Structure 1
Amino acid sequence: MVEIISVIKLLIILFSVCLSSKQLLAIGRNNTDYKSLIAFKKQFLKQSDVNSSTIFSSSWNATNHFCSWEGVTCGYKHRDRVTALDLRSVGLAGPLPPSILNLTFLRRLDLSFNRLYGEIPPILACLPRLQHLNLSFNSFDGDIDAILTMNHSSVLQVLDLDSNHMITGKIPLVINSFSPLKYLSLSNNDIVGTIPPSLTNLSVLESFYAFSNHLEGGIPPEIGVLHNLKDFNVADNKLTEALEYLHHSCQPPIIHGDIKPSNILLDNSIIAHVGDFGLSRMLFENLNICFQDSFNQSGIKGTIGYIAPEYGELAPLSPSADVYSFGIVLLEMLIGRRPTDDVFSDNLTLHNHIKMILPHGIKYIVDLKMFRKEQREASEGGGENPRWFSCQSTNKCLLSLAELGLSCSVPSPKERPSMEEVTAKLNAIRASYVPSI
């Protein structure tokens, strides 16, 4: 019996040794990635907060193979090579350790929402397979020109440097060398200069964010050729108003082609931004026939209810179509009804409905959700009018906005104002009524 027990113990020991050897063999096949992660861990254990310390102590230890550590993903073909490192919001603090540059099979690196700082090393130059790089919401610094020039990549698809606040310099012309780039965010930094025209060479670009910087000049007119572009946000810079700029400052002018509520986005400051340039087109005066032929062949493009009526007759592209769509959106905001609601038909459109009721019936059609509860209640003394209606400034402001929406959405494109005139009218309304509301 004693001999049997001894044999069993021996088998258990041999089995354990076998497992340990397997793990060591796995590490041995790629000692570089294992050592890089250990060096990465040691640096952050010295200066990071409790979150990262907990992750490193509970997961990043010798009892687990490094490919099973939290945030670490290894490849299917090269099973002991690290292909992704996702350590978002784990409390990392300090500069980026150079050991990370040895993870040469890395395809995805997400270190966002930590407390990292210092200059960004040549990550992309050292990691030739990296397709996704997210360093947003840290405190990295450095010159964006040097960062992008030093980090040239022919495979990168996502680059997010949002909200580091200390990245400076000008967007370099070599941005066009990042040909596979689909997502680029440089917002909330200290970037200056202009948006380089070479940006428009990124043919697969879907999203570009550069708001809250110090950019100057205008949006490159060639932006209209980026047919995959869905989100383009450069607000809170020194750039001019979106639609007015596209129509009157770009050469050639750019027609957005699909102004509707879902393409108008609000930021945290309730500032509106135009998005989705998928149907935008450049307008060459000497090539109107070509544009018209192309438009006729491809059929009507846009969103029902917001498309200008002349497009039903296959009229040529015109900035006045954007004006019409803007007018419909403005009217929709005022009364809380879409142009496609069942109440409207061929004989009764959103435009005609409001036109028949104005000017005396504004109180019957305005969307009451715009007002606080106490403003929606009847006036004191048992009157029928709501409290907001008794305020002349509010009443006149809403009436002026409704009249502007009607003038923008008239059936004849020749009778519509330009976006330049619309912007001037909106500024006048704001100056006249908003301070006293």
Structure 2
Amino acid sequence: MVYLPFFILLCTGTAATFGNMSDRLALIAFKEKITPDPLGVMSSWNDSVHFCNWTGATCSDVHRERIMFLELQSLKLVSSISPSIGNLTFLIGINLESNGFSGEIPQEFGRLLRLQHLNLSDNSLDVGGGNRFTGSIPVSFSNASGLQKLDLSSNNFTGLLPVELGTLRGLYILNLEYNQLGSGSEEANDLNVISFGQLC
């Protein structure tokens, strides 16, 4: 009986810590993909600094220790995007513009149901046009039902727009120019957007 209150307190504290670690672990997995990092941006992403204070990461005032914004634009980062980004489920905005990200977009973006703004444009650091996102635009984007602004311009996406994107009724800015997407796709007609960059 003497140890029971202490045991309960210990269990409660452990559970709270575990719950607050999910976003931190997702950011660490994101960081591990980045190489090189010529400006040393990721140097603040370490155990001596709370992850809410890591460069480019902003936590919610309401949902403490949950990342709301990830803003790492124009920092010369070279990487693919870790699927762990799908674990940052409180994200509202992501801006990775003007870096050297490449590869295909993880389907896990579709798990970001609160996401409103996504900017992955102009990921081309090399003079020859390398380090660009490739592949098709993920169908899973249609699961991010809160999406309002989507900028995928100046990359190397191919194929046609997924017809499922027509379900994003809140989407009002879509920029797809300077990719290798098929022009005049019927899927585009279902999108009610104010700004629609040219498809090819």
How big is the shift at 1:197?
6.7
1:177 has 2:167 as partner: yes
Answer 1 or 2: higher relative contact order, Cα 8 Å, separation at least 6.
2
User: 2:42 is matched with which residue: 53, 56, 64?
Assistant: 56
How big is the shift at 1:30?
0.8
Report the number of matched residues.
178
- Cα distance in 1 between the residues matched to 2:99 and 2:191: 33
Task: Indicate the residue corresponding to 1:111 in structure 2.
Answer: 96
User: 1:89 is matched with which residue: 74, 81, 104?
Assistant: 74
Structure with greater helix share of residues = 1
Please state whether the residue corresponding to 1:118 is helix, strand or coil. coil
Task: Indicate the residue corresponding to 1:209 in structure 2.
Answer: 197
Distance 1:179 1:94, change over 3 A: same
Q: TM-score, normalised by structure 2?
A: 0.80
RMSD (CA atoms): 2.2
1:161 has 2:146 as partner: no
Task: Indicate the residue corresponding to 1:131 in structure 2.
Answer: 116
Contact 1:26 1:80 in 2 (8 A): no
- Cα distance in 2 between the residues matched to 1:174 and 1:116: 25
Please state whether the residue corresponding to 1:76 is helix, strand or coil. coil
Cα displacement string for residues 287-337 of structure 1 (whole angstroms, at most 9, x for unaligned residues): xxxxxxxxxxxxxxxxxxxxxxxxxxxxxxxxxxxxxxxxxxxxxxxxxxx
Contact 1:172 1:196 in 2 (8 A): no
Distance 1:200 1:126, change over 3 A: closer
Where does the alignment leave 5 or more consecutive residues of structure 2 unmatched?
1-13, 124-131
Distance 1:171 1:35, change over 3 A: closer
Distance 1:50 1:26, change over 3 A: farther
- Counterpart of 2:141, as a letter, is N
- Cα distance in 2 between the residues matched to 1:30 and 1:197: 40
Contact 2:84 2:108 in 1 (8 A): no
1:140 has 2:133 as partner: yes
Please state whether the residue corresponding to 1:39 is helix, strand or coil. helix
How big is the shift at 1:135?
0.7
Distance 1:43 1:176, change over 3 A: closer
- Counterpart of 1:43, as a letter, is K
Rg larger in 1 or in 2?
A: 1
Q: TM-score, normalised by structure 1?
A: 0.38
